[in-house]
Structure 1
Amino acid sequence: MPRSEARVVTDRPHRYAKQLASHLGRKVETSWDEETGLGAVTFGRGTATLTAEPGVLLLAVEGEAEHLDQLEDVVGRHLVRFGVKDELVAEWHRDNGLPGTVQRNLSEDEPSAG
């Protein structure tokens, strides 16, 4: 299955991964292991993994090619919303070498993408 990954630089990767898993867990199946710093999200059209490492939260999504944009957006959008004060950015890179989507919080005077 096609895969996309994002490296989100943050001083609080465990906190954000746990918050993301908890929030998404209201609608889909999730897991989070505080000891290992590993989490998983199971969507109807793919999966996501969350890996907290020192100074970075590693995100990965897998699914059919036509759903990668949506998977990247759901995971990235929620994460950057939680991390607005830390100005988190999720920039996705596909395993086929193509760039994926980018999620960031835009200031009010900055035009939105799309």
Structure 2
Amino acid sequence: MATRHGTMSTERPERYAKQLAGHWARRGSTAQEEGATVIRFDTGQRVVLRPGEGVLDVEASVPADGDADRFAEVVADHLERFGQRDELHVVWDA
């Protein structure tokens, strides 16, 4: 799998993890694993959201033949839209 890692500064990381999981629940499965929210899509993509102190760690993965950069942008677009009032932004590692 190809994976992108990022962070989103927020005082409510659990809220945004839960909101994204609920939004995408019908496209696959969601689970709580070792303190993280894991969303697995039927098409093979995976999102792992780890709430921390003032931050939401985001991991966006795609199968080897997928476009990790594009999928990461889709994940970021959703999180940023949910956090629009708080002017939230996902920052991806280089």
TM-score using structure 2 length: 0.84
After superposition, give the CA deviation of every residue in 1:5-60 in whole Å (9 maximum; x if it has no partner).
11100000011111111111132222247xx6410111214211000011000000
Rounded to whole Å, the distance in 1 between the matches of 2:4 and 2:22 is 22
Equivalent in the alignment of 1:61: 60
Which letter does structure 2 place at the counterpart of 1:41?
I
The structure with the largest helix share of the pair is 2
Name the CA distance, whole Å, in 1 between partners of 2:86 and 2:35.
Answer: 20
Distance across 2 between alignment mates of 1:49 and 1:57: 10
| Structure 1 gaps, min length 5 | 94-98, 100-114
Structure 1 segments of 4+ aligned residues over 6 angstroms from their partners: none
Aligned equivalents of 1:45 and 1:70: distance in 2? 14
| Identical pairs, percent | 35
| Structure 2 residue aligned with 1:16 | 16
RMSD, matched Cα: 1.8
Superposition map of 1:82-101 within 5 A:
82-93=82-93, 99=94
Offset at residue 65 of structure 1 (A) = 6.2
Equivalent pairs, count: 92
Counterpart of 1:111? none
